[in-house]
Amino acid sequence: MSKAAESTVSKKSLRDNPLIWPLAGLALVIAFNLVTGPEFFSVSVRDGHLYGNLVDIFSQGARVMLLALGMTLVIATGGVDLSVGAVMAIGGALAATFVTQMGYGLYVALPITLIIVGTLGFFNGAMVVFGKIQPIIATLILMVAGRGVALLITDSDVVKIQDPAFLYLGKGYILGIPFSLWLVAVIFLVMAVSIRKTALGLLIEAVGDNEHASRFSGIEAGRLKLIVYAVCGALAGLAGVLDAASVSAADPMRVGELKELDAIFAVVIGGTALTGGRFLLFGSILGAILLQALTLTLYNAGVSAAVAPVPKAIVIVGVCLLQSERFRKQITNITKFGGKAS
């Protein structure tokens, strides 16, 4: 008896652990690749750098990870930021223009860029906080305008980048591991520590869980939201800079296209509920990795990049269904019924 009770308890806590979903997804992708082509996992060292699919997953996933980190916080407050793709384009365009056309060093250009995109994020937050506009709509405005702004910055051109320091952001290696990954790791750690070692995390979760009650508990929700949207904007801009660095060019039209969707995907699949409240930064990182692994696996399986959104869509809706109370109930009912019948 007690043993049975114990096992249901552990089962429950396992199912309740939100990290289980991205991990299960990753396990599936890995299993699929083990069966179809184990060479997927081969990692080689060339010129002291690591090469291979696994490395690609991480290095190409770096940008989505950045977006997802910012998006996680925004979603945790009960919002969403649809403008991150457009802000990426602005970030890339700004940094590239500063360095290439205005001749600033990267050490000047990068901070200025981040301040500007952070301000754009702050503007999103201000619309939500002071304008009391639904986040989807508030950030929609920048989503619409952003690409136009990026085009204006670069004069509708693709800006080619030659500055070696700039390119190092996207192509450099430290200890054989891409620089962008180091950068993401550092940012993740800084965020995790500053959120969990202060009370910011708890307060953000409280705001997302019940904003009205948070006011009665003396939490300054507006201030938290402004910070969170600004951080999200800054991280999106940085992702845009990394993107430009990795392809040696800032393309205001294409960069960050539909990336807001990837970011939301990574967050949701990482176990943070879209309704806000509890959030998991690490889950979002896992979600981003899963997304990239899925894309690369499909690519290796001969599915063209253009068709890749189809399975992505199926996974997104599937994950949402799994998080849906009613769907879970239906499944339990079906399994119960099956159990009874047998």
Partner 1 sequence: MKVSLRANPLYATIGVLASLFAVASFSYEGFFSLRVVANLFTDSSFLGVTALGMTVVILSKGIDLSVGSVIGFTTILVAYLVQDAGVPVPVAWGIALVIGVIFGAGMGALIVFYDLPSFLVTLGGLFFAKGMGFVISSSSIGIQNGFYDAVLDFQLQVGPGAYLGAGALAFIVFFVFCVCLLKWSRFGRYVYAVGGNEDSARLMGLPVDQVKIGVYAFNGFCSALAGILTTLYMGSGNPLTGVGMELDAIAAVVIGGTLLTGGIGGATGTLLGVLTFAVIQTILNFDGRFKPAFLRIAIAALLLGFILTQRALARGKE
Partner 2 sequence: MLFPAESTIRIKSIMSNDSTPLLKVRGLSKQFGSVQALSDVSFELRAGEIHSLLGENGAGKSTTIKCITGVHRPETGTVELNGQLIAPRSPREAELIGIGTVYQEVNLLPNLTVLENIVLGRVKTNAFGKIDWKDARNRAKSALSKLEMDIDLDATLSTLPVAMQQLVALARALEVDSKVLILDEPTASLDEAEVENLFRVMNLLRDKGIGIVFITHFLDQVFRMSDRMTVLRNGRYIATRDAKELSKQDLLQDMLGKAFEEMQSRAGELDAIAADRAGRKVQLEVRGLGAPGMIDSVDLELREGEVVGLAGLLGSGRTECARLIFGVDKATTGTVDLKDKRVKQGVPSESIRDGIMLASEDRKAEGIFPNLTVRENIVIALQSRRGPMNPVPREEQDALAKKYIAAMRIKTSGPEAKISELSGGNQQKVLLARWLAAEPKVLILDEPTRGIDIGARAEIEKLIESLSEDGLSMIMISSEMDEEVRCCHRVLVLRDRKVIGELQGSAITESAIVRKIADHE
Binding site for partner 1 (CB under 8 A): 80, 131-134, 136-138, 140-145, 147-149, 151-152, 156, 257-258, 261, 264, 268, 274, 304, 306-314, 316-317, 320-321, 324-327
Which partner, partner 2, partner 1, none, binds residue 327 by CB below 5 to 8 Å per kind? partner 1
Q: Is 293 in contact with 29 (CB distance < 8 Å)?
A: yes
Closer to partner 1 by CB, 122 or 179: give it: 122
- Contact of residue 277 among partner 2, partner 1, none (CB under 5-8 Å per partner type): partner 2
Give the nearer residue to partner 1 in terms of CB position, either 237 or 276: 276
Please list every residue from 259 through 288 that binds partner 2, using CB under 8 A. 277-278
**Judging by DSSP bridges, how do beta strands 249-250 and 159-160 pair with one another?**
antiparallel
Which option in partner 1, partner 2, none does residue 213 bind, with CB closer than 5 to 8 A by kind?
Answer: partner 2
Residue closer to partner 2, measured from CB, 91 or 201: 201
SS (H, E, C) the chain: CHHHHHHHHHHHHHHHCCCHHHHHHHHHHHHHHHHHCHHHHCCEEECCEEECHHHHHHHHHHHHHHHHHHHHHHHHCCCCCCCHHHHHHHHHHHHHHHHHHCCCCHHHHHHHHHHHHHHHHHHHHHHHHCCCCCHHHHHHHHHHHHHHHHHHHCCCCCEECCCHHHHHHHHCEECCEEHHHHHHHHHHHHHHHHHHCCCHHHHHHHHHHCHHHHHHCCCCHHHHHHHHHHHHHHHHHHHHHHHHHHHCEECCCCCCCCHHHHHHHHHHHCCCCCCCCCCCHHHHHHHHHHHHHHHHHHHHCCCCCCCCHHHHHHHHHHHHHHHCHHHHHHHHHHHHHHHHHC
From residue 193 to residue 212, the character string flagging contacts with partner 2 as x (rule: CB under 8 A) and all else as - is ----xxxx-xx-xx--xx-x
Q: In angstroms, what is the minimal distance from the CB of 58 to partner 1?
A: 23
Task: List the single partner that 215 binds among partner 2, partner 1, none, CB under 5 to 8 Å by kind.
Answer: partner 2
Does the protein bind partner 2 through residue 192 (CB under 8 A)? no
Give min distance, CB of 274 to partner 1, in A.
6
What minimum distance in Å lies between the beta carbon of 287 and partner 1?
A: 14
Residue 17 in the binding site for partner 2 (CB under 8 A): no
220 binds, among partner 1, partner 2, none (CB under 5 to 8 A by kind): partner 2
Among 95, 219, 231, 241, binds partner 2 (CB under 8 A): 219
The residues near 215 (Cβ < 8 Å, ≥ 6 apart) are 221
- Alpha carbon 273 to its chain centroid, in Å, reads 14
Cβ-based nearer residue to partner 2, 256 or 277: 277
Contact characters 220-239, partner 2, x per CB under 8 A: x---x---------------
Under rule CB under 8 A, residue 215 binds partner 2: yes
CB of 332 to partner 2, least distance (A): 15
Q: Does 78 bind partner 2 (CB under 8 A)?
A: no
| Pair 285, 20: CB distance under 8 Å | no
Which spans of this chain sit near partner 2 (rule: CB under 8 A)?
197-200, 202-203, 205-206, 209-210, 212-220, 224, 277-278
